[in-house]
Amino acid sequence: MTIRQQSEALEHSLLCDWATFSDRSLGREQPIAPCPIRTCFARDRDRIIHSKAFRRLSNKTQVFISPEGDHYRTRLTHTLEVSQIARTIARALRLNEDLVEAIALGHDLGHTPLGHAGERALNAVCPEGFRHNEQSVRMVRRIEPLNLSHEVRDGILCHTGGRHAQTPEGRLIHFADRIAYVNHDIDDAIRAGILAERDIPQDIQNTLGATHGQRIDTLVRAVIDYGVKNREIGMDAETEQAMLALRRFLFERVYDGQSAAQDARAEWMLRTLYDHYINHFDTLPAAYQRLTEDGDSRARIVCDYLASMTDRYAIACCKDLFLPRSWNRT
C-alpha cells in the first residue's frame, strides 16, 4: 500500500460514518494520477496554499480599509481563523479535516480588494452580477486553474448564500465563516474605537458570553453539540438566533455606519477602474484577454481582473491611470 492508501484506510477507521472519505471523492474535472503520499483533499489544500490567489489575500481588506495599525484582520487572517475554527469542530465530530481545511483556505480566493465595498461595486456594474463565492470557484477553475476536487469546489461555492453544500464538511464552513467574522469584526471595531464590549446588547452577551473568547467557545460548542446529537451540521435555535442578532448589530453599528465614507470611495475606485478597462480591454494582461476564446464576456473578464487585485495594486492602478504624474511622486 502507498502512504496515501494507508491514510485513506485510516480515515475509514477514525472518521464518523457520515464524514466524507477521500477514496470516495467524485474526482476532478481533469483526471490526474493519484499522489502516492497525499489524499486528494490534502493535495487540494496544498495547491490552494501554494497559489498566487492565496498569497494575495494578505493585502485584501476584511472590513477596515487601510487601517492604521498592524493588528487588524486582512482577508488572509480571516481565512486562517475560519480554518482553525472549522478544524476544531471537524476533529471533535470526526469529520474529514483535510477537506474542511481545503474549503476554508479557498473560500475567499475570489474576494475583491477593498472588502465588501469592492464586491458591491462589481455587482452593480457587471451585467452578469458578481458574488464572491462564485468568483472564488471561477478563480480556481478558470483564472488560476488548480483542478480541485468536486467536494472542495462545492464547499467553496456554498459557503455563503442559499445553497447547501453536498458534504457535511462543506456545510461546516458556512458556520465557521460566520463564527469567525462576527467575532473578529467586533474585535477590530473595538480596536478602532467604534465599539466597546459594553455596547453589545445584554441579551446577546447572556447567551454567547461577554468576551471574544467566550463567544467563540460558545458557538463552537453549539455546532459540536448539534453534530453529536443530530449527525448533521447546525446549531441549537437559541444560540443561532443570538449569533444572527450579533451579526445584525454589526451591520447597524459597523458595516453600514462608521465605514460608509471609506466604502463610498472604494466603490467609486472599482467602478472607475471597471469603466476604464471595459473601454481599454486591450490593456489587460494577455492571460485575461485570452479568456474571451472560451466565450467569456468582456464584462466578466474585467471583473476577473479587478477581483484579483490587492488593495495596494488597485490603489496604484487608480493613481497611475487618473492622477497627473507629478501628483504621484509624493
Residue 132 has pLDDT above 80, yes or no: yes
From residue 227, how far is each of 109, 208, 214, 301 by CA, in Å? Answer: 28, 19, 20, 41
User: What is the per-residue pLDDT for 87?
Assistant: 98
Computed over every residue of the chain, the mean pLDDT equals: 94
Query: DSSP string spanning 214-268?
Result: HHHHHHHHHHHHHHHHHSSS---HHHHHHHHHHHHHHIIIIIIIITHHHHHHHHH
Question: For 66-75, 104-113, 238-247, which range has the lowest pLDDT when averaged over its residues?
Answer: 66-75
Q: Residue 64 in 3-state DSSP?
A: coil
pLDDT at residue 328, as a whole number: 58
| pLDDT tens-place string over residues 263-312 | 888 999 999 999 999 999 999 999 999 999 999 999 999 999 999 999 99
Give whole-number Cα distances, 51 to 58, 114, 174, in Å.
Answer: 13, 20, 23
Distance CA 319, CA 321 (A): 6
E strand spans, the chain: none
b/e string for 69-106 if b means 16 or more Cβ within 10 A?
A: eeebbbbbbbbebbbebbbbbbeebbbbbbbbbbbbbb
Please report, for the chain, the start and end positions of each structural domain, with discontinuous segments joined by +: 3-329
At 55 the pLDDT is: 98
**Contact in structure between 259 and 58 (CB atoms under 8 Å):** no
**pLDDT for the residue 69:** 67
Distance CA(156)–CA(138), nearest Å, equals: 10
C-alpha 142 chain-centroid distance: 18
Residue range 42-74, pLDDT digits in tens: 999 999 999 999 999 999 988 877 666 678 899
Distance CA 31, CA 29 (A): 6
- What does CATH list as the number for 3-329? 1.10.3210.10
